[in-house]
Homo-oligomer: A and B are copies of this chain.
Amino acid sequence: MGLKTAKEYKDSLKDGRLVYLGGEKIKDVMANPMLRTCIETSALDYEMYDMPQYRDLAVVTLEDGEPISRYYHMPKSGEDLVKRHELMVEATRLGGGAIPFTHDIASDTMNAVNITATLMGKNEYIERANNYRRYLQMNDLSVAVAVTDVKGDRTIRPSKQSHPDYYVRIISKDDKGIIVRGAKAHITAAAYFNELIVIPSRNMGQEDADYAVSFALPVNTKGIIQVCHPTKTGFGPWDFPVEDRPVRWHTDSLVIFDDVFVPWERVFLCGEWQFAMQLVYNFAYYHRHTAASYRIPISEMMVGMAQAMAEYNGIDKISHVREKITDLVIYVNILKSLSRAACVDYVVHGGVPTPNPIITNMAKYHFASKYHDCVKIVQDMAGGLLSTAPTYKDFNNPEIGPLIDRYLGGKAGIPAEYRLRMLQLIRRILDPEIEVLAVHGEGSFEAQRMTIYAEAMADILQYQKYVEREAGIHRT
């Protein structure tokens, strides 16, 4: 019972959850075309179990013989980190650049929850974390993770904001559990996943103790209200159809906790403000590594799209074109090398192998900060038709279709249809949402840079000592 099928996953979503989209309450998420596109994307994670080429990567067998998702296996070695990384890359390649997401962020989070419980040294937290991990393993649940609070004024601590609910907080406790209030933004896939894990989004001071809270709940728990944003539904009437490569995409939710009860066995942090930062940081080390893994396929696609359009347009041998494609190649290979190096040079936190924080943040920052430059190169190779190309319906119109076919051909042997299809793919993949995701997903540029600086401080000071010796400076 450790592995679900895609169908079981889809069926599990009819559970009374409260989801709004475009101002409407959504009764059945599978019945909404936007959400269905998202759900099909996520289902890929479950489908991989039955694809022979992925089975070994996707599944780990427990000592008792139970097969579980690799994501819910606690890593024991650098090799485990590499495998996890490769699984994420393959799943995202399968999604045509879109990540299925069902277990990976939960995996990042539960590793951080375990590490933090160990660092706190509180047995009940360790036990709860282990039990919940076991529950996820046995039921193969899809899990969204809620981190980013809505924050109000970004420069003011949680307890000093103009109202007390800009960060999720504990409003009461009793012997059964706690009641929480607040809202978390940008919660990917929460509308069509089973569970929701909540962790804080920043370090806390003593006065913010009520905001130092972490817990897990089923998504259909009373008081959880989700507001999704509209997204792609699939190919439109003007699009060239690609039967075997459906459109993959996701939406996110604003998740509102309207005084929600959490039983104690699902509470992982409750007022221990000194450990909020540990939880956030350990989550971030894992999750930014996950993020770097996700971006490999789209980076590869950018190389492929640029090369395809350069070839179609007959310019792939021109000097400045080769220079630009070389820039893309460097981009993708630095991302790959750093992602892998972060596994090989892992650190151990709370007994758990953790992707190297400096290298991980460099990988993520590399991807994110240079993404727009790569988009620019693909657009440069594509030509102005990227915006101005006629549609599939024009192409099929008997009066103008033949003219389009004649006039929009590329170099000899490249029919207009190749160019129109590739341009459509580029438009679909290089969506502004992906730019925003590069900028904000898994933390801002500044968050990554600050982590690199802080994590490298010991090295920095050692380098300073080295040059002081070289300069003949003997500090007292």
Contact = CB atoms under 8 A, between A and B. Distances in A.
Interface of A: 20, 22-25, 93, 96-97, 148, 150-156, 162-163, 165-166, 182-183, 185-186, 225, 227, 229-230, 237-238, 240-245, 252-254, 256, 258, 300-301, 303-305, 307-308, 311, 313-315, 317-320, 322-323, 325-326, 329-330, 333-334, 337-338, 340-341, 344-345, 358-359, 362, 365-366, 372-373, 375-376, 379-380, 382-394, 396-397, 399-400, 403-404, 406-412, 417-418, 421-422, 424-425, 427, 430-433, 435-437, 439-441, 444-446, 449-450, 452-453, 456, 459-473, 475
A129 B53 CA distance: 45
A467 B254 contact: no
A367 to B, nearest CB: 13
Contacts of A408: 150, 185, 254
Contact of A185 (B344, B385, B433): B385
Nearest to A433: B387
A410 B326 CA distance: 30
A397 B19 CA distance: 13
Copies of the polypeptide in the assembly: 4
B380 A461 contact: no
Contact of A334 (B182, B338, B404): B338
Contacts of A427: 432
B245 A384 contact: no
A404 B254 contact: yes
Given A150-B408, A162-B411, 12 more contacts: A20-B400, A151-B313, A155-B315, A183-B407, A227-B404, A229-B388, A229-B389, A304-B460, A334-B334, A379-B435, A387-B436, A422-B471
